[in-house]
Amino acid sequence: MARQNAPWYRAVRDCWYVRFEGKLTSLGVKGKGNQEAAKAAFEKLRTTPKPPPITAGPVLLPQAFAQFLVACKLSRKPNTVARYEYDAGDFVNDHPTLEPAQVTADHIRQWLADLDVGQTTKAIMLRSVSAFFGWLVKEDKLEKNPVKKVTRPKTASRSDKALISEADHKRLLEGASRDFRDVLVVLHGTGCRPGELQQITAETFNYKDRVVVITEHKTDHTGKPRPVYLTPELADLLHSKLVKYPTGPLLRGNKGVPWTGRAITESMKKLRKKTGVKAIAYGYRHTFVTDGLKSGLSNSQVAALVGHTTTAVIDRFYSHLGAAGDALRAALKFREKPKPDDQAA
């Protein structure tokens, strides 16, 4: 009897593989200890429908985009696929009669110009469109990516404008619905990415240790879970949700629908209009990092709290607040004018 096909670990690649449809296929799971994740990836590969066959005649953008999304579901996180579907899908829906090869940089520039969103959002949406056309090039379905000729919108850098003061946080809480208020409290208290809140579930929440351990996050390619540490107040808040939601996500809307990153973004837009507070959900993460560094925590401690695998981002954007900044300010003493008492001595 032939041995049943199953994932195996290749140490030379530090990756799990499987033989699928006669080909050696990487499952995209690293780490020898991640056999269960490899099995799950194989099951996803085995059960995901194949891209629809290309029929006779020209392939239009909607058809090519459908194939792109199917391919993405094999290797991308659900949140990433949803982002592509929403952002790049907006461009595709605007040009349903074009073939991929007919799309020019002018089409993309005009689409960007017509978007009623900020520059940062435009830049994010453009990345999704670029991912779509980049995939077409990689699959030999297109010669060149037209996005490469488009100047990317300048994104707003992290600054004090992104911070949410305690006064503004209070106003937001007062204007929010009861369910969304809990979302804001968790964002404020943990520095989580908005998209990570859906991973706070009855299964990932440990009340005794005051921690949530999530596996699907921005840096999950490292093979390491992301711990989200909780204050006693936050642990009690989540614990109170277990009565109503003994399984699955703990943070949900009034109809029991889990809060997703996009739902949080849309609710923040409405809350901004209602309260007049110019804030975005991601501003809570920026505020958490800033407050942590100002309180005296080291760059590595803050990086660990917000799920960064290194201090690179902290060092790049927040160095003026952390220990490195303190050391450089202390080094400037050679430029300080001596005090009268020092001169007398």
Phi (first) and psi of residue 239, to 5 degrees: -60, -35
Number of domains in the chain: 3
Read off the tokens for 179: 């369910």
Residues 204 and 291 in one domain: yes
Percentage, residues of the chain above pLDDT 70: 84
In sequence order, the 6+-apart residues with CB closer than 8 A to the CB of 284 are 164, 184, 187, 188, 191
Q: What is the CATH number of the domain that holds 244?
A: 1.10.443.10
pLDDT number for residue 2 = 44
SS3 229: strand
pLDDT number for residue 159 = 55
Residues 288 and 201 in one domain: yes
Mean pLDDT of 232-250: 95
Calpha distance 285→58 (Å, rounded): 46
pLDDT number for residue 217 = 44
Would residue 117 count as lying in a domain?
A: yes
Percentage, residues of the chain above pLDDT 90: 50
Q: What is the CATH number of the domain that holds 150?
A: 1.10.150.130
Residues 299 and 214 in one domain: yes
Residues 321 and 195 in one domain: yes
Would residue 67 count as lying in a domain?
A: yes
Confidence of residue 23 (pLDDT cuts 50, 70, 90): confident
Residues 77 and 28 in one domain: no
pLDDT number for residue 1 = 40
pLDDT number for residue 189 = 94
DSSP structural state of residue 249? B
Do residues 280 and 268 lie in contact, with contact meaning Cβ atoms separated by under 8 Å?
yes
Residues 239 and 319 in one domain: yes
SS3 252: strand
Calpha distance 214→93 (Å, rounded): 34
Q: Between 35 and 118, where is the model more confident?
A: 35
| Structural domain harbouring 152 | 53-156
Phi (first) and psi of residue 263, to 5 degrees: -65, -35
Would residue 344 count as lying in a domain?
A: no
Q: Between 328 and 52, where is the model more confident?
A: 52
Residues 307 and 261 in one domain: yes
